[in-house]
Structure 1
Amino acid sequence: MAAKRIARRWIAVAAAVAVALGAGIFWYSAAGSADSGPRAVTADEASRLAIARFRNYQARGRAVTISVPGAAGELVITGSADYRAKAGYGVVKGKGRNDSGTGLIRWTAQRVELRPLPAVPELPPARPPADGWFGRPLNPAAGELDRALAILLGLGSDRPDNAQLLPQNGAAWIAADQVNGRPVDVFAGPDSRDRPGSAESVRYWLDADGLMLRVQATVPGEKNPVVITFDTHEFIAVPPDR
């Protein structure tokens, strides 16, 4: 009889432990899900998002890698952006059917120029060739490449955005993440001035100081987004326009 009482007692204890563990697992799961987005940004998060473009302008130049999707294959641009001169410079390499579109590239908000090269270096030369360039007006509505170049130049501003307006314009916290081992928060939006309802199309990866480490933007008609990653290589100053 004593053995049966002990057995029943152990069964009861085991059942209680199982219930407690189950409750703990449920609480842990619920706590984890409560910390997933999207949700409205806090005041601190809105402030970080508001200074992100200004941080790029303060830095003047950022080293960037841009992945541009396209029906003919991906283009990858490795170079730099000057947020005070509103200009960019780099090497462009194609993949797939775009593998012929390789060489040097430089651009402003008004114009883009390409310089074909038979062998493309990993980084652009500090002094670009004086001739051999083919240029045209930059038109963000004309295709994925021009749109990506315009998006990059738009990521700098000579003043912070209005943090109080960001939540009203669709800015949201999405998730915690890491970029090259650095902890970041991922934010959506806000809406652009000329495209209401566009907040969901842009993602920003910002560190605790509001420094931009990655940006992802959807492109109309493309399954894959434009991806801009900062500080991926040594910064090379953008040569002044001719």
Structure 2
Amino acid sequence: MVAVGVAAVVAVGLTAFLVLGSGGESTGPRALTSDEANRLAIARFRNHEAGGRAVTITVPTTAGGLVITGSIDYRAGLGYGVVQGIGRDTSSDGLIQWSATTVFVHPMVDAPAQAPPSPPETGWHQRPLRTSGSSLDSALLIAVSLGSDRPDNAELLPQNGAAWVGEDQVGDHEVDIMSGPAARGRARTAGNVRYWVDSIGTMHRVQADVDSEPQPVVIEFDAREHLPVQPVPGLVN
């Protein structure tokens, strides 16, 4: 599930940590109930089942933040959206598309609020996705890994250290905050991540620290409908 997906990210060089979002109430960690383990186990499958999700990804960087607004196709393993700088210049603004191995960027002087449904056919720059040393690439890899074509084993999650951490509200949704198996119940331990999951196993938020920045990456799953992701010509998944 999510935790398994992020564990895979850690295996290729990411270091994720637990962080609690503002407004969340924590009385944990404590052991997951059977219901909580089942919901955590299906959260990544829910993303795949939906086909894709609209996302807003906030990425910390040394020069200021970056925000990516777009969609992720969890069946194709592709993300696509607009990237814009916060508290920095606009040199990184433009369109972005990515898989678990490749990043395409399309610089734009005046980036739109939403990405066009069909990516431009020209003007893209391709590079490998970096597995360490880049908070942007770490965030992209985490985000695209939050989908799976099958649920995880709910019985193994508690055995591997998954725990309930607290309660929160995201929009109109009451959610439980749960740490992944790598967390071992302690904040700021390498490999930790937290998930905001509702009563039917839908993921609404993920927060994780990355080894290249002291501030967390935040992935918000939006209520807006996601756009189908059309691959950039030449993108290899």
Fold conserved between structures, TM > 0.5 = yes
**Aligned with 2:170 (options 179, 183, 188):** 179
Distance 2:77 2:129 in 1: 13
Q: Deviations over 1:38-72 (max 9, x none)?
A: 10101110000000000111011100000001111
**Aligned with 1:66 (options 57, 63, 69):** 57
**Aligned with 1:44 (options 35, 48, 51):** 35
Structure possessing the higher relative contact order (Cα contacts under 8 Å, 6 or more residues apart): 2
Give runs of aligned pairs for residues 116-195 of structure 1, distance below 5 A. Answer: 116-191=107-182
Structure 2 gaps, min length 5? 1-25, 184-188
Q: Taking structure 1 as reference, are residues 57 and 113 closer, same or farther at Cα in structure 2, changes over 3 Å only?
A: same
Match of 2:23 in 1: none
Task: State the SS of the aligned residue for 1:191.
Answer: helix
Distance 1:233 1:72 in 2: 30
- For the pair shown, the structure with the greater C-alpha radius of gyration is 1
Distance 1:123 1:160 in 2: 32
Distance 1:133 1:241 in 2: 8
Q: Which amino acid aligns with 1:168?
A: Q
Contact 1:88–1:238 (CA<8 Å) still a contact in 2? yes
Deviation at 1:122, TM superposition (A): 1.1
- Hey, which bits of structure 1, 4+ residues long, moved more than 4 A? none
Deviation at 1:221, TM superposition (A): 3.9
2:235 is the counterpart of 1:239: no
2:107 is the counterpart of 1:106: no
Task: State the SS of the aligned residue for 1:104.
Answer: strand
Distance 1:231 1:182 in 2: 12
Q: Which amino acid aligns with 2:201?
A: G
Deviation at 1:231, TM superposition (A): 1.7
Aligned-pair identity (%): 57
Structure 1 gaps, min length 5? 1-34
Deviation at 1:142, TM superposition (A): 3.4
Task: State the SS of the aligned residue for 1:57.
Answer: helix
Contact 1:36–1:175 (CA<8 Å) still a contact in 2? yes
Considering only aligned residues, what root-mean-square deviation do their CA atoms show, in Å?
1.5
Deviation at 1:181, TM superposition (A): 2.2
Distance 2:35 2:173 in 1: 19
Contact 2:133–2:212 (CA<8 Å) still a contact in 1? no
Deviation at 1:189, TM superposition (A): 1.2
**Aligned with 1:205 (options 192, 196, 200):** 196
